[in-house]
């Protein structure tokens, strides 16, 4: 079934006018369990009746499938509510033989009054003209404005004024520009020297940028964001091997302190020399690539994207409060993270730990980026807890990468002493360290799940 309608934003002078018409009014409570830019699944209570409605599409014409359900099923689905409950009074009136629905919203949307008119076909929709008696109550038509669709009102509330500095279309470009300036600064520093900290800061700025672009992709009508996310990932990939070798070099230093036999010391010294040679090669490759015309063009195009992101690609979501958009981003990543954590607890598939680590990293970057829009104490505590589990997952990731590096050396090394030390000292040591770290990860995951709702209310997009 098709739903064809026009929608108008009204001023509150409609309310006394309505009273004089003695309309039929009903109270609605509704919520959503699924919301995407193109789809929604809504549950509505209307008196003693309950309905489930699936909608697909945008604008004036949408596909709609509705069925009546029982109250028990409605309340069961309430646990899966995404966003806020919507409460409103709907009044039906007839003017010039046409029925109008006037929704007077309550609670967090109490200033909102909307009028809807449904049409049997597109021809009637196109030729429709507002009766003169209604025109004085109209603020504007919002038929094509997705901000006033109930699903988006449930997620984000009312849109903000164009000049409000808290709007996401004002905040997001500033956040990305800040990270771009960091990328530019540390790109120049990396190209001038071989400082591990400069490379580390470059990678952080790149990862934060990638996270913000990926988390906000639902805001764009087209895929203009995709090429820039791919490009930034290429820059990070370029630096991965050097970063892993730098970490492994530090591990070798610790091993030298632990084992003092001449055989071990000499073998580790030779191995360290090979690592230094590889690091030099990696550093040259990184500098050459970062200074290449390809990367110059990529960064220029990326900055142009930031500057024009909401000028060329106006977003329906751009008008919402940055905190609400950030909470939605956090909610989506948090939902994925919880599913993966429970999957890991049930089958201990270690491949999941890499994905969990990345999601935690994204949660942290979003929190750090939007921290000014949240309660300071809550944010700091949440970031602290994320860092704790992120540290364990990061150590485990480094162990896996160090094992890979050692196996690569085994495949190419002809020095019997180095082979002996790798096979009988370094690899067994990593294996034991790995077992110990897996136990720590298990403990931190249990702790995170137990305390999750206590300190992460900013992750929760469920309001009853």
For the chain, give the percent of residues with pLDDT over 70.
95
Mention every residue, 6+ apart, whose C-beta is less than 8 A from residue 464.
Answer: 78, 81, 85
How far is residue 456's CA from residue 451's CA, in Å, rounded to a whole number?
A: 8
Single out the residue of 405, 458, 72 nearest to residue 240, CA to CA: 405
State the Cα–Cα distance between residues 170 and 280, nearest whole angstrom.
Answer: 42
CA 223 to chain centre: 16
Q: Give the phi and the psi of residue 426 in degrees, each rounded to 5.
A: -70, -50
> What own/partner pairs with CB < 8 Å and gap ≥ 24 does 73-81 have?
74/43, 74/45, 74/50, 77/31, 77/33, 77/43, 77/52, 78/31, 78/43, 78/464, 80/33, 81/31, 81/32, 81/33, 81/462, 81/463, 81/464
Report field, pTM of the whole predicted structure over 0.85: yes
Helix, coil or strand: residue 140: strand
Element housing 258 (H / E): helix 226-258
Q: How far apart are CA 315 and CA 325, in angstroms?
A: 12
pLDDT for residue 112: 96
* Residue 155 neighbours by CB under 8 Å, 6+ apart: 32, 35, 82, 83, 84, 324, 328, 461
d(CA 222, CA 309): 11
Q: Which residues pair with 46 in a beta bridge?
A: 28, 49
C-alpha closest to that of 330 among 357, 370, 384? 370
Distance, CA of 178 to CA of 199 (rounded, Å): 17
Task: Note the pLDDT of residue 454.
Answer: 58
Residue 390's CB is within 10 A of a number of other CB atoms, namely 19
Instruction: Characterize the bridge pairing of strands 82-95 and 462-463.
Output: parallel
pLDDT of residue 462: 43
pLDDT at res. 17 = 92
Contact (CB, 8 A) for 25 and 90: yes
Alpha helix segments (H runs only) across 10-147: 14-21, 71-77, 122-127, 132-135
Q: How far apart, in whole angstroms, are the C-alpha atoms of residue 62 and residue 149?
A: 12
The pair of three-digit structure tokens given for residue 205, joined into one six-digit string:
């700025």
Evaluate whether 122 touches 59 at the Cβ level (below 8 Å).
no
Q: What count of other Cβ atoms lies within 10 Å of the Cβ of residue 288?
A: 12
Are 279 and 242 in contact by the 8 Å Cβ rule? The answer is: yes
> Comparing C-alpha atoms, which of 179, 159, 463 is closest to residue 302?
179
Residues in the chain with pLDDT values less than 70: 255-260, 312-313, 452-464
Q: How far apart are CA 312 and CA 262, in angstroms?
A: 66
Q: What single DSSP character describes residue 321?
A: B
Which residue in 166, 212, 5 sits closest to 99, CA to CA? 5
Q: How far apart are CA 57 and CA 43, in angstroms?
A: 18
CB 35 within 8 A of CB 151: yes
How many residues are present in the chain?
464
* Domains of the chain, earliest start first: 2-156 (2.40.320.10), 168-463 (1.40.20.10)
State the pLDDT at residue 22: 86
């Amino acid at each position: 079934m098709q739903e064809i309608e026009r929608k108008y934003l009204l001023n509150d002078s409609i309310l006394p006018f309505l009273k004089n018409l003695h309309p039929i009014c009903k109270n609605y409570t509704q919520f959503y369990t699924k919301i995407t830019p193109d789809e929604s699944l809504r549950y509505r209570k209307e008196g003693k009746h309950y309905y489930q409605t699936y909608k697909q599409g945008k604008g004036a014409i949408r596909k709609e499938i509705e069925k009546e359900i029982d109250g028990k099923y409605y309340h069961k689905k309430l646990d899966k509510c995404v966003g806020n409950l919507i409460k409103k009074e709907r009044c039906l009136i007839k003017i010039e033989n046409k029925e109008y629905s006037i929704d007077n919203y309550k609670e967090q949307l109490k200033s909102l009054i909307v009028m809807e008119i449904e049409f049997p076909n597109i021809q009637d929709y196109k030729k429709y003209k507002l009766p003169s008696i209604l025109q004085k109550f109209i603020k504007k038509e919002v038929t094509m404005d997705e901000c006033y669709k109930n699903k988006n009102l449930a997620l984000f509330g009312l849109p903000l004024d164009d000049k409000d500095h808290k709007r996401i279309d004002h905040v997001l470009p500033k956040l990305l520009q800040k990270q771009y300036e960091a990328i530019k600064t540390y790109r120049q520093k990396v190209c001038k020297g071989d400082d591990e900290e400069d490379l580390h800061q470059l990678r952080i700025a790149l990862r934060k940028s990638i996270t913000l672009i990926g988390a906000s992709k639902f805001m764009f009508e087209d895929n203009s964001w995709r090429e820039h996310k791919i490009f930034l990932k290429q820059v990070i990939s370029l630096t991965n091997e050097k970063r892993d070798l730098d970490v492994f070099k530090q591990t070798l230093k610790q091993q030298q302190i632990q084992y003092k036999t001449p055989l071990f010391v000499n073998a580790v010294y030779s191995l360290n020399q090979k690592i230094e040679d590889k690091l030099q090669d990696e550093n040259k490759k990184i500098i050459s690539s970062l200074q290449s015309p390809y990367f110059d063009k990529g960064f220029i195009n990326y900055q142009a994207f930031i500057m024009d992101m909401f000028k060329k690609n106006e977003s329906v979501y751009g008008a919402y409060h940055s905190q609400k958009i950030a909470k939605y981003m956090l909610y989506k990543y948090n939902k994925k993270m919880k599913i993966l954590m429970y999957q890991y607890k049930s089958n201990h598939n270690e491949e999941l730990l890499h994905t969990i680590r990345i999601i935690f990293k994204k949660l942290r970057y979003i929190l750090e980026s939007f921290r000014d829009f949240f309660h300071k104490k809550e944010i700091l505590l949440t970031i602290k807890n994320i860092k704790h589990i992120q540290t364990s997952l990061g150590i485990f990731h480094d162990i896996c990468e160090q094992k890979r590096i050692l196996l690569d050396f085994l495949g190419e090394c002809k020095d019997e002493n180095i082979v002996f030390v790798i096979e009988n000292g370094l690899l067994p040591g990593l294996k034991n360290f790995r077992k110990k770290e897996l136990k720590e990860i298990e403990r931190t995951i249990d702790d995170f799940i137990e305390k999750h709702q206590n300190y992460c209310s900013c992750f929760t997009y469920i309001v009853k």
